[in-house]
Amino acid sequence: MSSNDRYPTIPLGQYREYPVAEMRERLQAFYTDVARRRTVREFSSRPVPRDIIETALAAAGTAPSGANLQPWHFVVVSGPETKKRIREAAEAEEREFYSHRASAEWLAALEPLGTDDQKPFLESAPYLVAVFMQKYGELPDGRRMKHYYPAESTGLATGILITALHHAGLATLTHTPSPMKFLNEILARPKSERPFLLLVVGYPAAGATVPDISRKALEDFVSFVDP
């Protein structure tokens, strides 16, 4: 019986508990798999069935969100004309970024990644998924509905999306041309939505390489408080 009888509850039917040994095995397998994920910047144009993208997005839609308001919207772009428009707009912003807007410090941090203002993958990859964060909701009568923690919630949904696509054997690039307002215009999204990031999705190009960078060791980013 719920402590709040005004709202219905249902049994936690889908929860699964595993014996600890199985827990370890499952987690080790999961960790080994996600540790292989890399951001790819060279994509093949090989097609990916649309239902694969849909299921990964359905997984993203299971993310927890502030007050369950699910403050996200995903636009899946596969058409060459729209991809071309996005590439042109993104490259214009990136030219500004690399030549004027970025601080010397930011450019130095990007240097090991070898990124520049050329974004051919925005046309070659089979899918671009534009992720929008809904700053507020819009009720049918035009009133605004406050959203709680929209950035945290959209970030969590996007993390699940990236993980799901990796799990399916696809590569992604988390791309953030800055500013990204052009995405609202090209994709006809309302002012209530802020472009969050642009996820490039597909198979890596044959012979694709990635920067030789490392990840922090667990003890460098985790602390335990036992007492």
Ligand X SMILES: Cc1cc2nc3c(=O)[nH]c(=O)nc-3n(C[C@H](O)[C@H](O)[C@H](O)COP(=O)(O)O)c2cc1C
Using CB under 6 A, list all residues that contact ligand X. Answer: 38-39, 41, 113, 115, 173-176, 197, 210
Nearest to 175 by CA among 153, 149, 201, 209: 201
Q: Would you say 48 or 90 has its CB closer to ligand X? A: 90
Measured from the CB atom, the residue of 39 and 184 that comes closer to ligand X is: 39
Nearest approach in angstroms of CB 197 to ligand X is 6
Report the residue number whose CB is nearest to ligand X: 39
Q: How far apart are CA 196 and CA 193, in angstroms?
A: 9
* Least gap, CB of 178 to ligand X (angstroms): 8
Q: Which is nearer to ligand X, 146 or 181 (CB)?
A: 181
Q: Where are the beta strands (DSSP E) in the chain?
A: 72-77, 127-134, 136-138, 144-146, 171-175, 193-202
C-alpha 192 chain-centroid distance: 19
Closer of 38 and 95 to ligand X (Cβ): 38
Q: Which is nearer to ligand X, 16 or 36 (CB)?
A: 36
Question: Dihedrals φ, ψ of 225, to 5°?
Answer: -115, 105
- Write down the least CB distance from residue 110 to ligand X, Å: 8
Least distance in angstroms from the C-beta of 101 to ligand X: 13
Measured between alpha carbons, how far is 175 from 39 in angstroms, rounded to an integer? Answer: 10
Question: What's the CA gap between 114 and 213, in Å, rounded?
Answer: 12
4 dihedral zone (left: phi>0; alpha: psi -120 to 50; beta): beta
CB of 211 to ligand X, least distance (A): 7
